[in-house]
Structure 1
Amino acid sequence: MDLIKKHIVKPGESVKLKSIATEPDGPFDGKEDAREYVADTITKMQHLQYRLFVEGKQSLLIILQAPDAAGKDGLIRKTLGRMNPQGVRTYPFKVPTPIELSHDFLWRTHQCTPAAGQISIFNRSHYEDVLVVRVEDLVPKSIWSKRYEIINQFESLLCERGTRILKFYLHISAREQLERFKERLDYPEKHWKLNAGDYDVRDKMPKYHQAYEDVFEKCSTKRAPWFIIPADKKWYRDAAVAHIVHETMKEMDPQLPKVEADLDEIRALYEREAAEMGQDS
């Protein structure tokens, strides 16, 4: 099973989202098989994340981008967010505040990048500044067109510091997205997600796809690759991302530090304390 090779965007590769399937094509034997795989993989990720935290030298940045209802929140809740919160932080990037707008476009992002030993998960990211601002015509092309190279330099800086970067686009079909919008209407506990503006964005999806295609071609690098994940089936989305994150963490191979304490001395102290407590009882 090589889902990395299956879904990665090679550096400089020209991508057409219309030609990429939103439905899975193997390797899991249906929903239950994928869910069992995710459960097993989460356990392995938890062990690796513990080692990463204790080692305190490397870090991991996971970036999630997708159309609305493609499942960024669900992926975090069911898979990525299952690691120890002491070493993992999730950052949802909303519309910039006036203070954030008064700085350069990467200012708010850099503050959320992971420190050594940490994992950061971005729910949307700095890529909004070459996606939304482009499609919605919020800034002129002369500004946003220069940002691809700035982003590449920024991510290269993070890599030099010891941060691995994984970028995922959750690829959902218009039909499946509409079904999930209906689900939000049918269940009162999901009404808070309803937004009439989501339907306006659907009308602009060809423009958003073109903007994403430029992002993939210009900003998928060897050190910070993009992955396009079929997202019509939630179980495949979760399993594919879990696989790629786990394989990356294995490759990072975080090591527990060497023990500098005198174990014999500490064992003797423990045995003395235990013996004294036994006598007191």
Structure 2
Amino acid sequence: MKDIDITDYKVDGHIQLDQIPTIDDFNADGKLLRKKLKTVSQELSDFQNTLYAHGKYGVLICLQGMDTAGKDSLIREVFKELNARGVVVHSFKVPTKLEKRHDYLWRHYIALPERGKFSVFNRTHYENVLVTKVHPEYILGENLPDVTTVEDVNDAFWEKRYRQINDFERHISENGTLIFKFFLHLSKEEQRQRLLRRLHLQEKNWKFSPADIAERQLWDSYQECYQTALNKTSKPHAPWYIVPADNKKAARLIVATILLETLKKYKDVKEPELDAEIKANLETYKQQLEKEA
């Protein structure tokens, strides 16, 4: 199996999505990919334990991708070795009535990770420059003071949103949130096969919605919106990674490896030193407890 170079996936310049491959299997079969993922995930678990004890950083993991890109299964497989109390998953659906009474970033801000924990956003604040850009009429439901018609949702409006998102991410980064953003890059043909699988397998039927077919017709529009978002919002403090997603097992390993290799660079993340008085009396405490036996 060839080594994974995480810089291959990082967006650090202008990208063209249609020039980026949607599959990479590292010349490895599924069994080897699963075995490697288990090893990496266990190391992530060890890091998260130390992160919790250290208590100064939270880790935000953002997952975006077209329908069937594999977000749910990636979350299940990448994080199953971690302490369940150390990982909180948020799946953002259509905004509720309460959420619409706030600005579009509010529901994401209150879901940010506590220090010492991981938060995983399954779909993210980027839906507000993706699905709403493909369907600008949705913006009218936000009841914004300067938007009364779809014509008001113009280029200047979207530029303002990109700026707001960049400002939001810069703010939380400067206050101790480590940000990872993953775009699961799926081919249109692989999506077709996965949708067919949902229809053919009875146990997968529940995942299918006719809306999946309708949104698929807008594939090119979504790809254009993703490309623009990736180019405008990949920053050193909040980089995007484009993960080939046609092979689910490989995609999971790529995400886990990027997380582990990047987090290990934070050398200040260490378990805190014991209080000097407690440390000096450890033997005494041990003897007290052993005497009880």
TM-score range, shorter chain: over 0.9
In 1: Cα distance, 2:159 partner to 2:209 partner: 29
Residue equivalent to 2:149: none
Q: Could you tell me which of 227, 246, 253 is aligned with 2:260? A: 246
The correspondence of residues 26-45 of structure 1 with structure 2, limited to 5 A, is 26=26, 28-45=27-44
In 2: Cα distance, 1:276 partner to 1:125 partner: 53
Q: Deviations over 1:26-59 (max 9, x none)?
A: 3x52322222210110110000000001110111
**CA-atom RMSD, angstroms?**
1.5
Contact 1:16/1:213 (CA < 8 Å) preserved in 2? yes
Contact 1:167/1:227 (CA < 8 Å) preserved in 2? yes
AA aligned opposite 1:64: L
Contact 1:14/1:213 (CA < 8 Å) preserved in 2? no
Q: Tell me how far 1:249 sits from its aligned partner.
A: 1.6
Are 2:270 and 1:255 equivalent residues in the alignment? yes
In 2: Cα distance, 1:61 partner to 1:201 partner: 28
Between 61-70 and 263-272, report the one with greater CA deviation.
263-272
Contact 1:88/1:121 (CA < 8 Å) preserved in 2? yes
In 1: Cα distance, 2:25 partner to 2:291 partner: 62
Are 2:255 and 1:268 equivalent residues in the alignment? no
The correspondence of residues 148-227 of structure 1 with structure 2, limited to 5 A, is 148-227=162-241
Residue equivalent to 2:6: 4
AA aligned opposite 1:9: V
Contact 2:25/2:250 (CA < 8 Å) preserved in 1? no
In 1: Cα distance, 2:190 partner to 2:83 partner: 32
Contact 2:25/2:247 (CA < 8 Å) preserved in 1? no
Change (3 A) 1:235 1:2: closer
Between 219-228 and 73-82, report the one with greater CA deviation.
73-82
TM-score (norm. length: structure 1): 0.93
Residue equivalent to 2:246: 232
Contact 1:63/1:124 (CA < 8 Å) preserved in 2? yes
Q: Deviations over 1:142-178 (max 9, x none)?
A: 4333110100010000110111111000011111111
Contact 1:49/1:83 (CA < 8 Å) preserved in 2? yes
Residue equivalent to 1:24: 24
Secondary structure in 2 matching 1:115: coil
Poorly superposed stretches of 4+, deviation over 4 Å: none
Residue equivalent to 2:146: none
In 2: Cα distance, 1:231 partner to 1:273 partner: 53
In 2: Cα distance, 1:97 partner to 1:222 partner: 33
Q: Tell me how far 1:2 sits from its aligned partner.
A: 4.8
Residue equivalent to 2:99: 100
Structure 1: which 5+ runs fail to align?
none
Contact 1:8/1:227 (CA < 8 Å) preserved in 2? yes
Contact 1:130/1:145 (CA < 8 Å) preserved in 2? no
In 1: Cα distance, 2:86 partner to 2:25 partner: 34
Contact 2:99/2:107 (CA < 8 Å) preserved in 1? yes
